Structure 1
Amino acid sequence: MPELQCENEVDTKRKAFPYKIVKVDPKINSKLLENFEGEKTGFVQVGPQKWLFPNRYQEEANELYNFEVTPDDVWIVTFPRSGTTWTQEMVWLLSNNFDYEKAKTIPLIERFPFLEFSICVHPDIKERFRQENSKCLNKLKKVEELDKPGWKIFENYSGRRFIKTHLPFSLLPPDLLRTGCKVIYVARNPKDVAVSYYHLNRLFITQGFNGNFETFWNYFENNLVHWAPYWSHIQEGWDRRNEENCLFMFYEDMCKNQQDTILKVAEFLGIDVSEKQLNKLDDHLKIENFRKNDSVNFEVLREIGVLNSKEQGFIRNGKNSKNSTYYTPELEERVNLWIEKNLIKTDLRFPKILK
């Protein structure tokens, strides 16, 4: 596989990006491009874990790795569809004096920017959005902001920074957990992640997945979806669970008792919560209310055509489904064997899912 180059030396404070970036095997790349229509150039794999990303990652890898962390940052780190948005909203409200009015009027993607979303916005897809929104200057402005790199967004950011990322720890700034900032890592069992991630890849035009669930699972199991491999990602989070500035949580535990989760996160962030505040936030975060919340549902992206109107919304049911209809008996058996095989390699164990 041909090796790609990543710009490294900018100044003495910056670290050279430590991993090789290679193009995905041409035959595999061709299949990926057929199924993930949001990418038009191709895919790359990074380092010994072979993290999979769209082609644009190679342009931004060094900037993401050298992103300057500040002591009062709050980071949410997850593999996609692991309870990320729910955690973001909870953390932001806890950290901003429960300002529900501001949370309602300012979209979560502005309050809690997604560090590397720009790598998913291919120029051809952006041009499509431009054409579709050509008659509205306000929408065109939003389109132009779509592929603005996260580090540029935060250059002129005022106040405390709240940062979302799906990058694994090994590709994030190496001093992330040494700066004093707070990092919350959330893990979710792979069966539910895969179903939810399947729907997200069909929902976002920037991903543009056009296959069925079994086809998606084949990619997921073989580490050929964005931000994969899944097991390496959560293992890196698990390995840092005892770090002073890292809080590791399972999504399954968070769902069992929201109020306990809120109090645990509040304690980690050093925030006192009254019973009245706790009850209100608990109600705000309940899935039946969360699903109706335009601020967290990426409505701003739907307005400019980034979301496929024929697919389910961004916030779906938020449930842990013990017996999912997506898995045929044959696929269920295969998936269970895959999970068992990977759990042998780690002491990480997912909480049991209750019916």
Structure 2
Amino acid sequence: MAPSKMNEDEFNNNQEEKQLFPYEITRVDPEINAELLKDFTGERSYFVQVGPKNYFFPSNYEREADKFYNFEVRSDDIWIVTFPRSGTTWTQEMVWLIANDLDFETAKAINLNERCPFLEFSTFVHPELKSTFLKENSDCPVRYKIVEEVTRKEWMNLPLRKGRRIIKTHLPFTLLPQNLFKSGCKIIYVVRNPKDVIISFYYLNKLFRTQGYDGDLPTYWNYFKRNLQPWTPYWEHVKEGWDRRFEENFLFLFYEDMNRDSKAAIKKISCFLNKILTEDQVCALNEHLRIDNFKNNPSVNNELLSKLGITKNVENGFIRNGSSGNWKKELSKELNEEIDSWIEENLARTDLRFPNLNE
């Protein structure tokens, strides 16, 4: 399943004439950048903001933006687009199995990151940090090679893949390939209650050394609300998905609805992908995706990244609990009220409404 190798010079030489990236990329104010580098040690250089919406990324994005924008989409692709921590991994596994006729054996044998590549993950691996990962795994040639593989530039490797591709990305639609909606491919966008997103993203930033956050939740929230976290502004991201909800070959889903009735979600996505599942197959997939099974599945829970040292070995790992409303256990009364005001202010600018927002 892994693509053939190609170096970056070969890749660039093989590309047809591409359009220039249309948005301005500016570096974050030096004082704010210094604050960020202190609290998020995965980045070693600087952060950038992109376009009129000021989407936020680490320095690597400046060199890769045009590669994402000019990426060649295939008509049989399936794209899973989300803001981080919106049920993405769960959706990936569901979609891959539906698209591949419930091939549980392959799903168990091959890591989800290989079956459903993360388009821009390389953007978040600073060269200095990658060197650290390689050095830490240098005593084992197998692990060393895997570090090289998991930090590869997917925008360069995906064009070499044979067969139908399922691609994960957190990039907003304005920064994704210009022909995405004209290609005929299938696009699934999942959105989740912002309170659960904030809590889950906070823990992910503490888990991944590529992020390297070691602060508390109130400090993290302060960065998030100022749109100083990767892929923010959150509201601009989800509104881009919401505004396209009537596009052809596009499916907009609320994670809360999927979580409340996962069998209905399986059937809806199966229909969207033009796949017919029997009731027994729906039940089998639903059992496979049940959180206890899902959390303990090494193919999806990023156990491999922990072994490589890319994530920390902590009790609550990549897959936490998958349920809705866990923000209630984490947010103080004062912080909850502040986030409520932030949500109310931003919802006033859109007709997007979350199901059971405060439940």
| TM-score in same-fold range (> 0.5) | yes
Q: Which string of whole-angstrom CA distances, capped at 9 and with x for unpartnered residues, describes residues 133-187 of structure 1?
A: 1110000111122332111121321111010000000000121011110000000
**Is the 1:202–1:311 Cα contact (8 Å) retained in structure 2?**
no
Partners of 1:223 and 1:104 in 2: CA distance: 37
**Is the 1:252–1:353 Cα contact (8 Å) retained in structure 2?**
no
**Is the 1:24–1:43 Cα contact (8 Å) retained in structure 2?**
yes
Deviation at 1:325, TM superposition (A): 2.4
2:97 corresponds to 1:98:
no
How high is the TM-score relative to the length of structure 1?
Answer: 0.95
2:249 corresponds to 1:245:
yes
Aligned to 1:5: none
Partners of 2:15 and 2:79 in 1: CA distance: 26
Partners of 2:252 and 2:83 in 1: CA distance: 13
Residue correspondence of structure 1 range 167-316 to structure 2 within 5 A: 167-310=171-314, 312-316=316-320
- Amino acid of the structure 1 residue aligned with 2:240: E
Aligned to 2:37: 33
Partners of 1:353 and 1:290 in 2: CA distance: 25
- Amino acid of the structure 1 residue aligned with 2:181: L
**Is the 2:263–2:282 Cα contact (8 Å) retained in structure 1?**
yes
Q: 1:12 to 1:314 in 2, by over 3 A?
A: closer
**Is the 2:199–2:327 Cα contact (8 Å) retained in structure 1?**
no
Q: 1:242 to 1:13 in 2, by over 3 A?
A: farther
| Partner SS state of residue 251, structure 2 | strand
Q: Which string of whole-angstrom CA distances, capped at 9 and with x for unpartnered residues, describes residues 104-139 of structure 1?
A: 000000000000000000111111111211110000
Partners of 1:122 and 1:32 in 2: CA distance: 15
Partners of 2:272 and 2:329 in 1: CA distance: 37
**Is the 2:196–2:327 Cα contact (8 Å) retained in structure 1?**
no
Aligned to 2:4: none
Aligned to 1:3: none
What percentage of aligned pairs have identical amino acids? 53
| Partner SS state of residue 328, structure 2 | coil
Residue correspondence of structure 1 range 135-146 to structure 2 within 5 A: 135-146=139-150
- Amino acid of the structure 1 residue aligned with 2:295: R
Partners of 2:105 and 2:303 in 1: CA distance: 17
Deviation at 1:326, TM superposition (A): 1.8
| Partner SS state of residue 173, structure 1 | coil
Which blocks of at least 5 consecutive residues in structure 1 are unaligned? 1-7
Partners of 2:71 and 2:332 in 1: CA distance: 43
Aligned to 2:6: none
- Amino acid of the structure 2 residue aligned with 1:26: P
Tell me the matched-pair count: 348
Which blocks of at least 5 consecutive residues in structure 2 are unaligned? 1-11
**Is the 2:195–2:327 Cα contact (8 Å) retained in structure 1?**
no
| Partner SS state of residue 303, structure 1 | helix
Q: 1:287 to 1:354 in 2, by over 3 A?
A: farther
Deviation at 1:302, TM superposition (A): 1.3
| Partner SS state of residue 118, structure 2 | coil
Partners of 1:14 and 1:135 in 2: CA distance: 41
Deviation at 1:232, TM superposition (A): 0.2
Stretches of 4+ aligned residues off by more than 2 angstroms? 10-13
**Is the 1:203–1:311 Cα contact (8 Å) retained in structure 2?**
no
**Is the 2:193–2:357 Cα contact (8 Å) retained in structure 1?**
no
**Is the 2:223–2:229 Cα contact (8 Å) retained in structure 1?**
yes
Aligned to 2:23: 19
| Partner SS state of residue 296, structure 2 | coil
Q: Which string of whole-angstrom CA distances, capped at 9 and with x for unpartnered residues, describes residues 73-123 of structure 1?
A: 000000000000000000000000100000000000000000000000011
Partners of 2:43 and 2:326 in 1: CA distance: 33
Q: What is the alpha-carbon root mean square deviation over aligned residues?
A: 1.6
- Amino acid of the structure 1 residue aligned with 2:104: Y
Q: Which string of whole-angstrom CA distances, capped at 9 and with x for unpartnered residues, describes residues 180-214 of structure 1?
A: 10000000011000000011111111111111111
Deviation at 1:323, TM superposition (A): 5.6
Partners of 1:113 and 1:323 in 2: CA distance: 29
| Partner SS state of residue 168, structure 2 | strand
